[in-house]
Amino acid sequence: MICLVFQRTILAFAVLAAFSGSASADENKAARGAYLARIMACADCHSPRGPNGAPMPEAGLIGGNVGFEIPQAGIVWGPNLTPANGGAGSWSTEEIVTALTTGVRPDGRLLIPVMPWPAYAGLTTQDAEALASYLQSLTPDDNPVPGLIAPGENAPAPYFTIKFPG
């Protein structure tokens, strides 16, 4: 009888730990992703910049307000990474991991050359999934970001020019 009570008690603790640990595991995963986003400098492109030109990571990954002109490609602004309006935070975990590690978006297009996905290709699966968890946990923000501007067209917002030597 004592053995049966002990077994039931152990089972009850195991069930409680499983349920209470799942929220903590998700929170820990998102916290790890937030740490990775910080050290991977995601805010440098995916957050607005202040009047001094410095990124404002405290504004969140709501999209950049300063673009990058890439020769023969045009001008691009770092997109909104929150779950709003199709931002990367609205993608599935697998889609985010694929984009980070292969440079391929869910629609099959390649990420722009400024996105350092080749450096991120070495992320462990756990770290890439943690980063995805963080993006998916962000509060959706409908911050509009200009779309790609073709070479020679007028830009609707400021941008940096990337010039290759030669």
- Is the separation of the CB atoms in 77 and 146 below 8 Å? yes
Distance CA 78, CA 43 (A): 9
Query: Cβ(44)–Cβ(141) under 8 Å?
Result: no
Position 23 scores a pLDDT of: 58
- Examine the pLDDT at 13 and tell me if it is beyond 50: no
What is the number of domains present in the chain? 1
Q: What is the pLDDT of residues 113-165, one digit of tens each?
A: 889 999 999 999 999 999 999 999 999 999 999 999 999 999 999 999 988 78
What is the predicted pLDDT for the residue at 39? 96
Domain assignment present for 13: no
What is the distance of C-alpha 78 from the center of its chain?
Answer: 11
Residue 165: predicted pLDDT: 85
In a domain, 56, yes or no: yes
Phi (first) and psi of residue 110, to 5 degrees: -85, 145
User: Given a cut of 60, is residue 45 above it in pLDDT?
Assistant: yes
Q: What is the mean pLDDT of residues 109-116?
A: 90
pLDDT at residue 85 in the model = 85
Asked, for residue 19, whether it belongs to a domain, the answer is no
Whether the pLDDT of residue 9 is over 90: the answer is no
Nearest in space to 83 (alpha carbons), one of 131, 145, 140: 140
50 pLDDT band, cuts 50/70/90, is very high
Instruction: Give pLDDT tens digits for 64-96.
Output: 999 999 888 899 999 999 999 888 999 999 999
63 in a structural domain: yes
pLDDT band at 12 (very low <50, low <70, confident <90, very high): very low
The parent domain of residue 43 ranges over 28-161
128 assigned to some structural domain: yes
Residue 7 placed within a domain: no
pLDDT score at 86: 82
* Least confident range of 18-27, 54-63, 109-118: 18-27
